[in-house]
Each structure stands twice: as C-alpha cells, then as structure tokens.
C-alpha cells in the first residue's frame, strides 16, 4: 500500500487536483495498485488557519508517506516548497519539456529533461547589505552537491529512451571557482559513464540553443539559478506551461508538482490545464516503479503518457492549448482512455 501525501494548493490547485485524483483512481483500479491518498494542509489556507504555510503536522504526514503530489501554491509557495526541498534534501529538480500532439511549441521533436541542482548556488539565502548602498549574495558550490547532481543526470540519460547525451550548462569562463568546480565534477562523472555523449555549454549559449535547436537536447544538467530560468524557457518552447510537470527528488523522499504557479488569473473558471499535475503524477509512478521495482507502477506511468497523447490527438484540450474543453472534460477523457488501455 503506497501512502501518497497530497497538497491541493491554491488558485487553480484544487481544480487540477480533483482532475488528477480521478485519473489516479482510474489507474490504480485498472492496474491493481494499492494507494492511499492523504490530504495535507499547506499553502495560503494553512497560513490563514495556523499562521504557518507548512504546519508541523503536515510535514510529519509528508515524512511518513512514500511520495508527495503537490499542486501549485499561491503567495506562500516559497515557504512550502523551498523549505521542503531543504529539510527533505530533495537535491534534484527534474523538469521534462516535451512536445505533445496539438501543442503549439516551436518544434515537434522536443523531448528534453533539465536536471537542476536544487540545494545551493546563489539561492542559498546568504544575502547581505554592505552599508546602505550595496548588497552582496554568496554563490555556494560544493563538490558533494555537484557530484551527486551530475551522477543523477548521467544515470537518467542511461535509463531513458533518449539521445543518450548530457550537456553540462554553466558559466565557468567567468565564474572560475564556483562554476569551474561544477564543470570539473561533471567531467569527472562523465568519464565514468562512457556510453553517454558529454558536452558543455555556457548558459547564454544554452538559452539561445533552446530556441534555435531545442530538439537536439536530451539531458541538461545545471546549477540552481540557471536551471530555474532555462526550465521555464524550455517549457514555453515545448508549448505550454500548463503541460510542464516537475519532480524534486532526494535519496529518500520525492515531491511531484507542476512547474507553473497557481495561475490566479484563471482560477475557478474550470479551464486550467490539468495535464501538468497529471504528468507529475506520471513521474511519481515512474519513481515508485524504480524505487520499489514495481512493474505495475511502471505500467501506470506509461499509461499516463499514452492516454494523454491519445486524448490530445483527438483535439480534447483546454484553451491554453487552443482547445475548448474544460479541466474536468480533459480528465474524464483520460479516464476513458485508461479504462480502454
């Protein structure tokens, strides 16, 4: 029995959560997967109720679960996910960008994954004022963090059915010590994974090449801030933020969430694209499959992919993809595919 902690989130969160739960139920019923979904209070409503966006009892529930699915959170997003990444040591932020039928992306063949180091870099919170007219931020880079993220990226490139390549993205020509250490670690790990083609790219060149030739990429491994920026770019290049899933993965825990925010501009209208959260759930099944050597979960993750492709091919899509279907209609269509599966 898998225990899955589920954060409904704010804005469009509850709508896309409902859609995702219907799909989870259909998958579990079809494949005989035993799963208990446990609601976890977190985000703006928890902040209003308990004075904390992530109350202690919610953290305990997440710690006691096998995995967590998290819908987007509003104003208090950073207090939840940034904190969880740190306390659970979720060092790999994995963000696929992929073209699906009917998506209005730049190219049809896009299928890349950005592996972003999630724990240090300029986001370590070490910012200081120097007097009243100057401020500094410290960019933290450790060999341990660089080695483990590089190792994660190479193993991913070996496991997936892609172009078997890893590009390390940095700016070591200017940041010789911090980015230089990252680059050296990637080279060292590359030498142990000879079946994977390895190359390096400066972050400005990568930003350009993601637009010029996005289908050439397979796995990109990069530092925290570069990954933050490049993954939003890649999601848009592939088509829509509403289709962008992500995973925060550590050695013990993992949290799966859309790459986008709570989209308050469309909340409550029933038109939010639920596929980002459903695809995140697909990533969760894949992770459970490899962690527990569970063939049913592997099957579930494939079925998510196949069903979404089939539904989109029939033109069933929310307005962000140019369609006219509601959040609920898209979820119901996926459930029908799963049942037929």
116 neighbors 224 (Cβ within 8 angstroms)? yes
DSSP state of 170: E
Site residues (CB under 6 A) for ligand ATP, limited to 219-248: 241-242
276 binding ligand ATP? (CB under 6 A): yes
State which of residues 20, 45, 262, 301 lies at the interface with ligand ATP (CB under 6 A): 262
Nearest to 329 by CA among 275, 260, 261: 275
Q: Is 79 a catalytic residue?
A: no
> In the bound complex, what is the minimum distance in angstroms from residue 24's beta carbon to ligand ATP?
17
Site residues (CB under 6 A) for ligand ATP, limited to 306-325: 320
Q: Is 204 a catalytic residue?
A: yes
Token pair belonging to 96: 């696929």
**Catalytic residue (choose from 25, 89, 232, 294):** 232
**Catalytic residue (choose from 108, 204, 269, 339):** 204
DSSP state of 2: E
State which of residues 266, 278, 304, 330 lies at the interface with ligand ATP (CB under 6 A): 266
Torsion angle of the four alpha carbons 152, 154, 159, 160, in this order, in degrees rounded to the nearest 10: 100
Contact letters (x/-) for ligand ATP, 47-86, by CB under 6 A?
Answer: ------------------------------x---------
* Residue placing its CB nearer to ligand ATP in the complex, 14 or 341: 14
Phi, psi of 219 (to 5 degrees): -110, 130
**Cα distance between residue 147 and residue 163, in whole Å:** 22
> In the bound complex, what is the minimum distance in angstroms from residue 211's beta carbon to ligand ATP?
19
Q: Which stretch binds ligand ATP (CB under 6 A): 146-154, 177-185, 270-278, 293-301?
A: 270-278
Q: Which stretch binds ligand ATP (CB under 6 A): 33-41, 138-146, 268-276, 305-313?
A: 268-276
Token pair belonging to 296: 């049913």
> In the bound complex, what is the minimum distance in angstroms from residue 15's beta carbon to ligand ATP?
9
From residue 111, give the alpha-carbon distance in Å to each of 26, 30, 87, 223, 312: 27, 28, 31, 20, 17
Judged by phi (left if over 0) then psi (alpha if -120 to 50, else beta), residue 268 lies in left
Q: Is 232 a catalytic residue?
A: yes
> In the bound complex, what is the minimum distance in angstroms from residue 98's beta carbon to ligand ATP?
15
Nearest to 220 by CA among 112, 145, 141: 112
* Residue placing its CB nearer to ligand ATP in the complex, 37 or 278: 278
Q: Is 123 a catalytic residue?
A: yes
**Catalytic residue (choose from 91, 100, 123, 226):** 123
**Cα distance between residue 21 and residue 296, in whole Å:** 18
295 neighbors 289 (Cβ within 8 angstroms)? yes
Q: Which is it for strands 197-202 and 165-170: parallel, antiparallel or unpaired?
A: parallel
Query: Which residues are identified as catalytic?
Result: 123, 171, 204, 228, 232
Task: Enumerate binding residues for ligand ATP (CB under 6 A).
Answer: 12, 77, 241-242, 260-263, 265-266, 272-273, 276, 320
């Amino acid at each position: 029995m898998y225990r899955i902690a589920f954060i409904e989130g704010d804005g469009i969160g509850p709508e896309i959560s409902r859609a995702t739960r219907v799909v989870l139920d259909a998958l579990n019923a079809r494949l005989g997967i035993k799963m208990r979904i446990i609601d976890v209070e977190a985000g703006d409503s928890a902040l209003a109720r308990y004075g904390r966006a992530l109350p202690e009892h919610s953290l305990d529930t997440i710690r006691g679960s096998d995995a967590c699915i998290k819908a987007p959170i509003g104003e208090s997003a950073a207090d939840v996910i940034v904190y969880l990444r740190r306390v659970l040591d979720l060092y790999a932020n994995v963000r696929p960008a992929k073209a699906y039928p009917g998506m209005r992306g730049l190219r049809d063949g896009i299928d890349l994954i950005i592996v972003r180091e999630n724990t240090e870099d300029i986001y370590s919170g070490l910012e200081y004022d120097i007097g009243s007219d100057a401020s500094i931020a410290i960019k933290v880079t450790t060999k341990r963090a660089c080695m483990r993220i590089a190792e994660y990226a190479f193993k991913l490139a070996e496991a997936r059915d892609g172009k078997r390549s890893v590009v390390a993205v940095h700016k070591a020509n200017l940041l010789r010590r911090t980015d230089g250490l990252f680059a050296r670690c990637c080279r060292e790990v590359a030498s142990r994974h000879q079946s994977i083609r390895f190359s390096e790219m400066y972050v400005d060149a990568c930003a350009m090449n993601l637009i010029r030739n996005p289908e050439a990429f397979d796995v990109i491994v990069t530092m925290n801030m570069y990954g933050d920026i490049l993954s939003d770019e890649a999601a848009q290049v592939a088509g829509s933020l509403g289709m962008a899933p992500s995973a925060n993965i550590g050695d013990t825990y993992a949290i799966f969430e859309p790459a986008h925010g709570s989209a308050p501009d469309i909340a409550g209208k029933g038109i939010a694209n639920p596929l980002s959260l459903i695809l995140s759930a697909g990533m969760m099944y894949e992770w459970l499959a490899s962690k527990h050597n569970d063939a049913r979960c592997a099957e579930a993750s494939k079925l998510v992919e196949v069903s979404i492709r089939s539904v989109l091919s029939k033109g069933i899509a929310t307005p962000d993809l140019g369609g006219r279907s509601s959040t609920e209609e898209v979820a119901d269509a996926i459930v029908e595919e799963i049942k037929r599966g």
